[in-house]
Structure 1
Amino acid sequence: MGMKVFLGLLVCFLFSVVSYSQEIGEEVRNDTTFKVHVVEQGNTLYGLKQKYGTTIDAIITANPGVENGIQVGQKLYIPIAFNNSSKLTSKKHIVEQSETLFGISRKYDVTVDALIKANPGVEEGLQIGQELIIPAKENNKINQNPVDAEGIKEKDSVTINYEVEFDDSIVKYTVQRKETLYSISRRFMVSVEELSKVNEIKNNKIKPGQELIIPLKKERIERVEVRNIPRKDTLKDSLLFKELKIKEKYKVVMLLPFKIESNGKVLSGMLDESTRLNNVTDIALDFLMGAQMALDSLKKMGLTAEVVVYDTKGDEKVVVGLIEDGSMANADLIIGPFFPDLVDVVSEWCKNNKVELIVPTSVPTKVLMDNPYVTTIVPSDLTLISAMANYMAQNHADDKIFIMKGSSQSDQSRVELFKKAFKASLPEEFKSKELIVITSLGSSSGRDMARKVDLDTANFFVCLSDEVKNVMEFVNTLNAAKNYSSGMKKADITLVGTKEWLDMNSLNNYYKNRFNFHFANSSYLNFSDSTIIEFIKEYRALYKADPSKYAVHGFDVVLSQGARVLLKKERNNGLMNNFLVRHIGENHGKENNGAFICKQSEFEIELLHINKKELYFGIDQNRNN
């Protein structure tokens, strides 16, 4: 999807959500054709722009004062087309500070290319005070919105299904760190065999930086007749919901760090293949695109809401300004912000105003203390440790389980939590079970570690440290023990660590694969799952792009928490998240306990278990995290 489409989508979201409309006729005034529209409940300037294929600026110009709001029953004139007999004339514009070609093109409703053609040399940069010729529009449609130009429009009020047909197309893809041929095949829904054949790959071996040819499936989207079919309460049906009548109208505020000003090249409209969005901008927009799909689903469930999106710029001053100018007044639900320092500010406001706050990113658990209005979606590290302890107690109580004591205060605190959660989760017949605490690794040869291993049962070695040095010493010693004798090479040994180990460059995938590395994670995304495949198809149909994990996360969070908070409905099974929202204690906030227990096998991540049980949670420990 092009950069202009991303930014166009963002601009669209700065206005309220879709609305219904009533058209009563046409009029021609001053060589321009207008649709005459009578405002109904729920109409917005953005909704009218989408319906009539015009621009918001054009509507405001034809109807002075509407920028301050529109009223039910008000008659509006919506400019649609110029009379062909009208004489086309150009205008002049004096460049002001901070103006860009893109901004000027939007102001006068012309393309950047047209500006460059009329003003040779401006592609090299603009100067304050420079006089530009603004060419007259050569087409008779007022429709230069970058979103519409790419074919992405707000969904009609009537539900539209799509019939998707495929024909082959080729794209090039650069292999990223830790990717495998299998994971790439799942991502692009192309078989490993086909990728190997096209790229002449032997033994399925690829390396970071390698360029692959991907025989993608190119979609052709057509509208088809909507038929009523029997419904089942399954995850697959979570994308399409029955119409429900909800009388209340809510206000939802989304606080996302778009940092638009950090994308100067994109805003200029001078794009090439190397053009990239700021990383934070990219993530925020992906999240928003997934959120829009969730809002469509919530609307079908019966939600009536005004959704307002603000760019926090990742700046605390901006958030404070939004609070002080009343932008969040009367909100029923706030989603965001992303950054911990901003969350602290908003959470305090939500507590004072009794407004539900959904935090979609990983933040310190202390934000939940003494604030029952905050919900954190990403399970904390301590919750993930509790989830792993619960899984071990429920599934491996009769196996031999070792746990490293840890050298730092943080590691020892984690170990104590794991031990308590493990003990609390043991089945009755194993209540006397104790973990074997390892206080020293012993010889680097692995001799001392090998003596601990029971060759007749499964052995689990738990290390909860995130310090690379400690982890590498532990893994190297365990590997040496595995190689210590022929008997040890046959021993059943499993390594249990944390999700942070996945990003440790020093920890070779060979070791994680050899020891069936187990870890608890906050999400699990399986691209081969039929529900994910359907989501990807719908996402492609809307945005002409593949969804990132941030888009999937945005969909999950907004759908689940919008349903829970506003519609009082449970939608706990997400595409990559599992939602088990629980209070961490009386008068405290809520945290998602929905953790995933995964393992690495054959160099791929496999799902072992989804936690659907309220976990052991230490309040005192969380005050410090």
Structure 2
Amino acid sequence: MGIMRILIALIIFLSSSFAALSQEIGQETRGGKLFKIHAVEAGNTLYGLHVKYAVTIESIIKANPTAKDGLQVGQILYIPTNETTAQKPAEEKFIIHFVKRKETLYGISREYDVSVADIIRLNPGSDKGLDIKQELKIPLIPKKIEKPLVVDDKKPLDKKEKVEEEVKKEFEPYNPFKEDSVTVKDYKVEFKDSIVKYEVQKGETLYSISRRFMVPVEDLIEQNDLQGSSIKPGQNLTITLKKERIKEVEVRELVTIAPISKSNVNLVKKKEKYKVLVVLPMKLGDNPKALSGMYTETTSLNKLTDLSVEFLMGAQMALDSLEKLGLNADVEFFDTGGDLSRLKEKLDLSNKNNLDMLIGPFYPQLLEYAAQWGLNNKVPVIAVTKIPTKLLENNPYLLSMVPSELTMISAMARYLAKEHAADNIVIIEGENAEVKERVQYFKDIFEKSQPIANRTTAKITGVGDASGRSLMNQINTDGNNFIICLSNDVQQIMKFVNALNAAKNYSATYGRAAINMVGLQNWLDIPALNSYYRNRFEFHFAASNFLDYEKEDVKEFQIEYRAKYGSDPSKYAFHGFDVVLSQGASLLLGYERNIGLMDYFSVHPLGPNHGSENSSVFISKQKDFEIQFLEIISNNNQFDVNQRGGN
């Protein structure tokens, strides 16, 4: 059974810790079903309600669709029950268990054959930890009696039915259409359970992880011997990925690409067969198991190898889809080991073999050499990581798939100009030359993106001291405010956030004011800037991608990926799939394929004879302790590369 260690987390859903006492205020019958009415209190979570009322999280969300967006104090929830009319519940029977040294909720649940959730339900607070000699109520759950499969009054089979039954029994062991396997073309893939070793990322909860890996919260608790729903960043979880059951053969493309528009990129000459080189720093000499799929708990890969292998796996799935669309290509995956001399040797050889497209490498120094090689040999080079925009200058054969910092800043300015021009826009002045340049750039784009007749301006102000008085003077208490800080310096960021928080706390009037905080995506990685501040000010930021695990095509990709590799895809796997499928379709098949699973591609030259950059940016915000996608902004105009200062 393959075990892969996954290091990247892409979806952030932050909820409170396990609920304190919940407030049930009544009952109501709807459509013949009885619902308990619950008023949300501070600290309530969906998981806590699931434990208290012994119903699934999914059934709570089904009865209260807005609950998936987060719970608010005072919110009324209807909790489904199994009763059809309001009846007095029967008194639950239980026995007393005295906790022994080193016992856990999971171990006790196994001893009595009950669920952890049932024990927590009868013993509020037990999820926080157990004490020696503590008394626990253990529910007595009646065992279900299985009905016999054979009934006495079954009619005997006639002669024809007996023959059919015998044929069926003989054929079944060789049936390629069994529920646990799927036949595609001429080979069969068995879908078996696999295990993922997962490291909890900052801001994640058991519920968000359960959504990502499509496993119940209860299973995560039991598999990891947890005593509640509380987890910490850096904590390792074991996650069992269940085999997918497909009842019949289904040969289909993973993603359908409608040939609706021809690509205007003529960087690759049309051929019967293409040659593609994918360059990754896998360092296979140090990690011989990296491509075998034979991962175990002792398999140790460095982070760059992890990312490379994940990107490769996604790329391989994209190539499968491209082949179904008619692509005829020889694709080679080359391990540079991070060594420039190895790359030079490989590219010199590839030059003689008429290479048509180069994807990668990751290292900046290697990419700089590859970009120049691509220009000299007229071979498009696809940069899959963020690169200095300066490299795109006078090199039409370099294509960057990740928007630059200034492109994302520009996109946020355009979004605010489009959606919030009438609101109060305030920009915090820069603490150094680089940030001051960003501030002026943001202000210019914001103002120029509006119609001249109704153009509004953005104000620039200093942070002031910790009292927040300076920022108070800039806040409109009767309108919507967007306070923007474009710094990367943690000290400056926290000075700004603390001052903004002090301003909001100054009085009830300022406390009620609608204040939105706008910053950079990397603020999400600042431990001091916790979710409380980001949620209080509905933190807005621009990002290069957005991964929604609730989308059907994403779920389908996860199922296909698990079947192929026995693990769950990381963001780099999604990125590898999106990039290779998009650029393979555009450059080699001549069709645009802009919409990815995680990325969106709007790849255009920055100017005449310059390279191209993906200008599609995802605008998101944090609200109700969850990241919410707002809009995609694409900058299709041309920029002066020199103006960007290498950003």
TM-score range normalised by the length of the shorter chain = 0.5 to 0.7
Q: Helix, strand or coil for the counterpart of 2:408?
A: helix
- Equivalent positions of 1:137-216 (< 5 A) are 158=185, 173-192=198-217, 205-210=230-235, 214=239, 216=241
How far 1:195 moved relative to its partner?
A: 5.3
The answer as to 2:548 corresponding to 1:523 is: no
Displacement of 1:538: 0.5
Instruction: Tell me if structure 2 keeps the 8 A contact 1:161–1:223.
Output: no
Q: In 1, distance between residues paired with 2:483 and 2:227?
A: 35
- Deviation string 1:378-416 (CA, Å, 9 cap, x unpaired) is 100010001101101000001000001111111011112
Instruction: Give the secondary-structure state (helix, strand or coil) at the position aligned to 2:382.
Output: strand
Q: Is the 8 A contact 1:397 1:430 kept in 2?
A: no
Point out 4+ residue stretches in structure 1 off by more than 6 angstroms. 3-6, 159-164, 168-172, 196-203, 227-232, 264-271
Q: 1:231 to 1:289 in 2, by over 3 A?
A: closer
Match of 2:558 in 1: 536
- The 5 A counterparts of 1:50-65 are none
In structure 1, how many angstroms separate the alpha carbons of the residues matched to 2:249 and 2:503? 62
Letter matched to residue 413 of structure 1: E
Q: What one-letter code is carried by the residue in structure 2 that aligns with 1:180?
A: T
How far 1:622 moved relative to its partner?
A: 2.5
TM-score, normalised relative to structure 1: 0.67
Indicate the percent of aligned positions where both proteins have the same amino acid.
Answer: 49
Does the CA contact (< 8 Å) of 1:369 and 1:623 recur in 2? Answer: no
**Cα distance in 2, alignment partners of residues 585 and 609 from structure 1:** 25
Counterpart in the other structure of 2:643: 621
> Is 1:561 paired with 2:561?
no
The verdict on how the C-alpha distance between 1:205 and 1:400 changes in structure 2, with shifts beyond 3 A counting, is farther
SS for the counterpart of 2:598 is coil
Decide whether aligned partners of structure 1 residues 163 and 271 sit closer, same or farther in structure 2, where only a CA change above 3 A counts: closer
SS of corresponding position for 2:381: strand
Partner residue, 1:360: 384
Q: In structure 2, the residue corresponding to 1:206 is in which secondary structure?
A: coil
Check whether the contact 2:384–2:400 (CA below 8 A) recurs between aligned residues.
yes
Distance 1:565 1:229 in 2: 20
Q: In structure 2, what is the equivalent of residue 585 of structure 1?
A: 607
Match for residue 435 of structure 1?
A: 458
Which digits, 9 at most, give the CA deviation of each residue in 1:295-338, with x for residues without a partner? 11111111111112211111111111113334664011111111
- Give the C-alpha shift of residue 603 in structure 1: 2.1
Q: Which residue of 1 aligns with 2:303?
A: 279
In 2, distance between residues paired with 1:229 and 1:171?
Answer: 23
Q: Look up the match of 1:60.
A: none
Q: Which residue identity is paired with 1:488?
A: Y
Aligned counterparts of 1:215 and 1:161: Cα–Cα separation in 2: 22
Shift of 1:460: 0.4
The partner residue of 1:400 within 424, 443, 452 is 424
In structure 1, C-alpha distance between the alignment counterparts of 2:236 and 2:565, rounded to whole Å? 25
Contact 2:194 2:242 in 1 (8 A): yes
Deviation at 1:530, TM superposition (A): 1.1
Superposition deviation, residue 508 in structure 1: 1.6
CA distance in 2, matches of 1:285, 1:329: 26
CA distance in 1, matches of 2:367, 2:287: 24
* Secondary structure at 1:598 match in 2: strand
Q: In structure 2, how many angstroms separate the alpha carbons of the residues matched to 1:231 and 1:264? A: 35
- 2:358 maps to what in 1? 334
Structure 2 residue identity aligned to 1:338: F
Letter paired with 1:397: A
Among 310, 321, 324, the alignment partner of 2:348 is 324
Query: What is the match of residue 343 of structure 1?
Result: 367
Deviations 1:131-154 (A, max 9, x none): xxxxxxxxxxxxxxxxxxxxxxxx
Corresponding residue for residue 526 of structure 2:
504
Note if 1:604 corresponds to 2:629: no
Conserved in 2, the CA contact under 8 Å of 1:394 and 1:425? yes
1:265–1:594 distance in 2 versus 1, CA, 3 Å? closer
Distance 1:545 1:249, change over 3 A: same
Distance of 1:472 and 1:254 partners within structure 2: 41
Q: Aligned in 2, Cα 1:175/1:4: closer, same or farther, shift over 3 Å?
A: closer
Instruction: Output the aligned Cα RMSD.
Output: 3.5
Q: Report matched runs for 1:38-117 at 5 Å.
A: none
Whole-Å Cα distance in 1 between the matches of residues 399 and 233 of structure 2? 38
Unmatched segments (≥5 aa) in structure 1: 7-154, 236-245
Task: Confirm or deny: 8 A CA contact 1:258 1:284 kept in the other structure.
Answer: yes
Residue pair 1:4, 1:266 contacting (<8 A) in 2 also: no
After superposition, residues 296-307 of structure 1 pair within 5 angstroms as: 296-307=320-331
The aligned amino acid for 1:532 is V
Counterpart in the other structure of 1:550 = 572
Measured in 1, the distance between the counterparts of 2:295 and 2:257 equals 46
Mapping for residues 372-387 of structure 1, pairs under 5 Å: 372-387=396-411
User: What TM-score do you get using the length of structure 2 for normalisation?
Assistant: 0.65
Per the TM alignment, residue 450 of structure 1 is displaced from its structure 2 partner at its CA by: 1.5
Higher RCO (C-alpha under 8 Å, 6+ residues apart) = 2
AA in 2 matched with 1:206: I
CA distance in 2, matches of 1:208, 1:5: 15
Gap change, CA 1:484 and 1:214, over 3 Å in 2: same
In the alignment, structure 1 residue 575 sits paired with structure 2 residue 597? yes
The separation in 2 between residues aligned to 1:313 and 1:497, in whole angstroms, is 36
* Structure 2 Cα separation of the partners of residues 351 and 213 of structure 1: 47
The 2-side partners of 1:170 and 1:593 are apart by 37
Unmatched 5+ stretches in structure 2: 7-182, 261-269
Asked if 1:261 is matched to 2:280, the reply is no
Counterpart contact for 1:523–1:595, Cα < 8 Å? yes
Q: Give the CA deviation at 1:426.
A: 1.4
Aligned twin of 1:426: 450
Change (3 A) 1:362 1:534: same
User: How many residue pairs were aligned?
Assistant: 462
In structure 1, the partner of 2:243 is: 218
Contact 1:401 1:461 in 2 (8 A): yes
